Amino acid sequence: MSALVYTLFVLAVGVERLAEMVVSTRHARWAMARGGVETGRGHYPVMVVLHTALLAGCVAEVWLAPRQFTPAPGWTMAALVLACQGVRWWCIAALGPRWNTRVIVVPGLPLVTSGPYRYLSHPNYAVVVVEGAALPLVHGAWLTAAVFTVANAALLTVRLRAERRALRWAAREVPA
């Protein structure tokens, strides 16, 4: 895979992320119209910057370092990235209009336990972890993979705390 083809691959992931943002915005409006409460706003801009930096870092490292494509690990990582997109959209489908990129809970709605949530409580975060390593490693951008992985671990610590707090609050708000 040439650096140009890899760049186009990363851009395709970026377009997919933009599609997610469109869905997320629509779903956030749905949640707020039903009494949804957002928590964890402070970390959200950091998350947006980090995920944008992942895409930029992938391309920059391959063009500036330059990194070589090695077929066996490269194609394996590309398959993982594609699988991540499938699981991510499975998460979105399972949560329906409750899915968005923010931490918004609607009091009174039960936890989703279908789809990938039957197996993991936070499958989308598992996808982000895998994709954050796999996408750069498609073309050997190991520095981007390492930096994103460490920064994302710190961010997920904050985000999971905010999400757990929000879900505990929503559970208390359920009418008797």
Q: Where are the domains of the chain?
A: 3-172
Contact predicate 160/125, CB 8 Å: yes
Contact predicate 143/61, CB 8 Å: yes
pLDDT for 175 beyond 70: no
For residue 39, the surrounding DSSP H or E stretch is strand 37-39
pLDDT digits (tens, 9 = 90+) for 12-37: 999 999 999 999 999 999 999 999 98
pLDDT at 173: 58
Q: Cα angle at 143 between 141 and 149, to 5 degrees?
A: 105
Burial of 26 (0-12, 13-18, 19+ CB in 10 A): exposed
pLDDT digits (tens, 9 = 90+) for 152-167: 999 999 999 998 888 8
The conformational region for residue 40 under phi > 0 = left, psi -120 to 50 = alpha, else beta, is: left
pLDDT digits (tens, 9 = 90+) for 125-149: 999 999 999 999 999 999 999 999 9
pLDDT at 150: 98
pLDDT at 152: 97
Burial of 156 (0-12, 13-18, 19+ CB in 10 A): middle
pLDDT at 176: 42
CA dist 166 and 173 (Å) reads: 11
CA dist 37 and 1 (Å) reads: 45
Phi, psi of 16 (to 5 degrees): -60, -40
pLDDT digits (tens, 9 = 90+) for 80-128: 999 999 999 999 999 999 999 999 999 888 888 899 999 998 899 999 9
pLDDT at 153: 97
pLDDT for 174 beyond 70: no
Topology given in CATH for the domain delimited by 3-172:
Four Helix Bundle (Hemerythrin (Met), subunit A) (1.20.120)
Q: Which pTM was predicted?
A: 0.88
The CA–CA distances, whole Å, from 94 to 97, 111, 119, 123 equal 9, 11, 12, 11
Sequence-distant (≥ 6) Cβ neighbours of residue 152 within 8 angstroms: 50, 128, 129, 132
| Mean pLDDT to the nearest integer, 71-82 | 97
